[in-house]
Each structure stands twice: as C-alpha cells, then as structure tokens.
Amino acid sequence: MSRIARMALCALLWSGVTAAAGAQEITVGLGSEPTTLDPQAQEDGSERAVNDNIYETLMVRTADGSLAPGLAAAVPTAVDATTWLVKLRPGIKFHDGSAFNADTVAFSINRIINPKFKSAQLSFFNTIANASKVDDLTVKIITKGPDPLVPVRLYWMKMVPEAYAASDKFAAAPIGTGPYKFVAWNRGSNITIAANPDYWGAKPQIQKATYRFVPESGTLLAGLMAGELDLVPNLLPEFIGQVPKSAHIQSVLHPVLILNADGGITKDPRVRQALNYAIDKEALTKALFEGYGKIDQGQLLSSDDFGFDKTTTAYPYDPAKAKKLLAEAGAANGTLQIVGTSGRWLKDRETVEAVAAFWEQAGLHVDLKILEWNEYLKRLWDRQSRPDAIYVASKDPLLDPDRPFSTYYQAGGMGASNTDPKLAELVTKARTEINNEERAKLYRESIRIAHDQAYLAWLLTYEDLYGLSQRLTFSPRPDGKMLVSTMSVAK
C-alpha cells in the first residue's frame, strides 16, 4: 500500500473516532507510551511529556531558557563550596492535599540519588551527597565537591509526595503540585490530565489534555488532518507542508551511536573510526530531515554550547578510508550488531537503517535489531548486554556539558561503553571546577579524547518539529518541554 493510500485509510479511521476536543480541551499524539509515571525512575521522553504538567521543580526555565525560581522562593544560595540552602514557597499543596515543604524536598532529593533506587536520571544529580531539612521552608543540600550547577540540576528534578511515593499506585497514578492533575491511564491507548482548580500559580486556559499513543507517523499526520489531534511532536519533516500549522526550534538532542570500546568488533579504535568515516552525514541531513538539521562536529554539543571545542570537527565522509581502516584492523567482512528503537525520536528507525546501510557499503555484515521501547531501554542501560552499537538521542536539557558527558563519555556512565580512565578523570574534574575558563578547558580536552578514540558515531542535531491543529497556539521551548499551561486554543 502506498503512503498516500495509507494516509487516506488512516484519515478514514480517525474520522470514526470521538469528535474533536472541545474549546477547553486538547489531544496530543505521542509516538510511544510512557514506561512509568514515576517522574524520578526513568529517562523517558513520553513520561516527561505527561509529568511535566503534573509535577514541578524547585527551579524552572522561562520561555527563552533563562533560569528562575519555581517551587523555590528564590535562587539557591551557596553557603560554602559544598553547601547550598534552598528557600521554599509557602502554602503549596500536592493534589491529594498533603503539604509541600522541606521534608518533601529532602525526601525527593535523597530518593533519586539513592543508588538502590537505580534511577535512570542519576547522572543528572550524582554530585549531590544528601539533603536535609533546616526548617519547614528551608532545605540544606550537601554536594560531594564544589558543584556550580546545583541550581540548574534543581530545574530538572521533580518533587514527589513522601507518603504516596511508597504506594504501589504511585507509578501509575501520579500526584504532584502542578497545574494539572492525573485523571486516568488506559494502557495501550491514552492518558488524561485535567486542570488543577487549587493550583497555587496562574490558572491555565486549557482544562483537559489527552495523550494518545500512536506509534505510526502516518497515523499521527492523519489525526492532525482529521482534527482529532491538536499537537504532534517529532513531526516528520516531509509532513511540514501538509499539516494545518507547524512550529520548530533547534533541538537539544544529539542523535549518536554508542560504540562498544570494551568488547566485540568495535573494541579496536580503527573499527570505531572507520564506522564514523563510513557515514554520509550530509546525505542523512538532506534525505531524512529535509535540511532541518546540522552535522554535529564530533561532540555532544552544539556550536553555541558552553565547552564547545572549535578545533574538533566532524569525521568527513570517506568510504575508502573506512574500508582501509577495517582491513588494517582485520575486521573487513566482520559482523556488527546495531540496536535501535522506533517512534521515540524523530526518524529514529530510519536513521539507524540508513547508518546500517552505510556500514554494509563499507564491507560489514550488519545485524540490525529494532526493539520495542521497554526492551530497548534494558539494552541501553545494561552494560552486560551492550551491543556493538546502540542508537540514542542524547539530550542536554541542563544546557550544560555535565549531563551528556557524565552519561555517555565517562566510564561508568549509564550510557557509556568505554573504560577510559583519563576521560573519566577529566569529566569528574569538570563537574567540580568552579572557574568557568578552567572548566571549559577540561571539557574541550574530553571532547578531543572521545573524538580521537571514536567512542561514539556522531551524526547530526536536528530541529524539534511540531504539527499543530489550526486552533492551537503553542510556542516550542529550548528545553523541549510541552507545558500545556502555556498553550491556548481558539474559542
């Protein structure tokens, strides 16, 4: 069946669905279902899409990316090199009526940094040693060393209710302090949230939002065209001209392939370098992303990011050199496994398939596995079952190198596939360096080592593309959050 025929069929199917949402309601199409609604457990974009509206953080970012107090009454203050004090807003309550206070904050921080909890978000926060109550509206945070990013980290950590977090219902029926309350989760179908009438901040215009799980991009497009969806993230670039409205912004995502430097065919650095030379990144940008992207310069940073190294550039497309390096390493005609997923990130499956084709052209036999999201996450976070190459879109929501480098560069990081002691030492030093000039130098040296050793196969950074219904007003944010409270619909 052709794409046009599939779209026509999808539109017909959508036309039989419930009538379009009312003026105070919206429907969002997600490419994957959340793995959990515990906001501290996983690193899952679909979970965030929902929970960013239910839970809140001590610090927030404004629409232009500036840092500002959220549940905190003011920006945290440094008492000394390893001690911070956070003052809290008074009178805030969770959706179940329980109080938000210093006990809540200390619990939330200590919960997520506890190694036994095994949070997939730990790399955001593992410079924090502990948190404790000073008084009802003051929390003391102790770090493992000097950490200039404490206020930034608190922008990403959601606050959870202590008593309810112990319930077996917590991961499926969340309770936060945010502008929206959880209503229902129909597994395999949708999640619904509704405006919190007792919200402490500005009241949102939109009263109800439903998140539908639609893994097929053509079906998402048909839903927009049929008026059954109001917002679709990760819109395919080729659909831009077909949707009622669209919006885009430079993404903080950097799609890469993590290459296993500790075992298998990719243990040899010449093989890893060959894999980089074999990828035509210009072709990927044009063919898959219609020009809505830029080639990454051999690092997990964009050119305007702190720590970006101007001396490091992308591996050029050089298939002859790739074949030569593979032959020198004795890996010509070898077999390599790639693992990816589908529907989580923009063009994730298509990107992995294109890379696999480039590597086959270089003379390798590629075993490509596209896994369901939960199984993919197991392979990503489990170092014991790490394949030769695994696709991931590295996110830099803190707008700082700390998180991507400690996750994907540093040995022991949840997404790292190397045991390079020098690289690990540099990333560790950078985390605790107060002087920004010295910190930037440490990151630039880290970038050069990771690039020369080809611990990753770097690709490109694309733009976040959104499809909108005609009635929805929505402005994309630099951090990628979809905050329903900032949206409106025509009445």
- Per-residue pLDDT reduced to its tens digit, 155-192: 999 999 999 999 999 999 999 999 999 999 999 999 99
What is the structure's pLDDT at 21? Answer: 56
pLDDT in tens, 338-354: 999 998 888 899 999 99
- Token pair, residue 447, equals 């970038």
Higher pLDDT: 167 or 381? It is: 167
Taking alpha carbons only, the member of 303, 256, 253, 308 closest to residue 416 is: 256
DSSP state for residue 406 in the 8-state scheme: I
What is the structure's pLDDT at 399? Answer: 82
pLDDT in tens, 49-65: 999 999 999 999 998 88
- Kind of pairing, strands 389-395 and 335-341? parallel
Q: Is the pLDDT of residue 291 over 80?
A: yes
What is the structure's pLDDT at 16? Answer: 44
Taking alpha carbons only, the member of 370, 345, 380 closest to residue 460 is: 345
Q: Is the pLDDT of residue 286 over 50?
A: yes
What is the structure's pLDDT at 283? Answer: 96
What is the structure's pLDDT at 26? Answer: 98
d(CA 443, CA 306): 9
| Tally of CA atoms within 13 A in the half-sphere of 61 that contains its CB | 22
3-state secondary structure of 119: coil
Q: According to CATH, where is 3.90.76.10 located in the chain?
A: 59-163
pLDDT in tens, 402-457: 989 999 999 988 889 999 999 999 999 998 888 999 999 999 999 999 999 999 99
This prediction has a pTM of: 0.80
Q: Is the pLDDT of residue 13 over 60?
A: no
Q: Is the pLDDT of residue 314 over 90?
A: yes
Class of domain 3-54+178-244+469-489: alpha beta
Q: According to CATH, where is 3.40.190.10 located in the chain?
A: 3-54+178-244+469-489
d(CA 401, CA 2): 43
DSSP state for residue 57 in the 8-state scheme: B
Q: Is the pLDDT of residue 313 over 60?
A: yes
d(CA 436, CA 446): 15
Q: According to CATH, where is 3.10.105.10 located in the chain?
A: 253-463
Q: Is the pLDDT of residue 305 over 90?
A: no
Is the CATH code 1.20.120.140 the one for domain 253-463? no
Q: Is the pLDDT of residue 5 over 80?
A: no
**Confidence class of residue 307 from pLDDT cuts 50, 70 and 90?**
very high
CATH number given to 59-163: 3.90.76.10
Q: Which of 101-110, 286-295, 443-452 has the lowest mean pLDDT?
A: 286-295
Residues forming a β-bridge with 367: 337
d(CA 312, CA 210): 44
DSSP E strand boundaries for 187-282: 190-195, 208-213, 231-233, 245-250, 253-259
What is the structure's pLDDT at 9? Answer: 44
Read off the pLDDT of each residue in 333-342 and give the average, rounded to a whole number: 96
Mean pLDDT, the chain, rounded, equals 92
DSSP state for residue 158 in the 8-state scheme: B
Q: Is the pLDDT of residue 131 over 80?
A: yes
Q: Is the pLDDT of residue 7 over 60?
A: no
What is the structure's pLDDT at 64? Answer: 85
What is the structure's pLDDT at 22? Answer: 65
pLDDT in tens, 263-278: 999 999 999 999 999 9
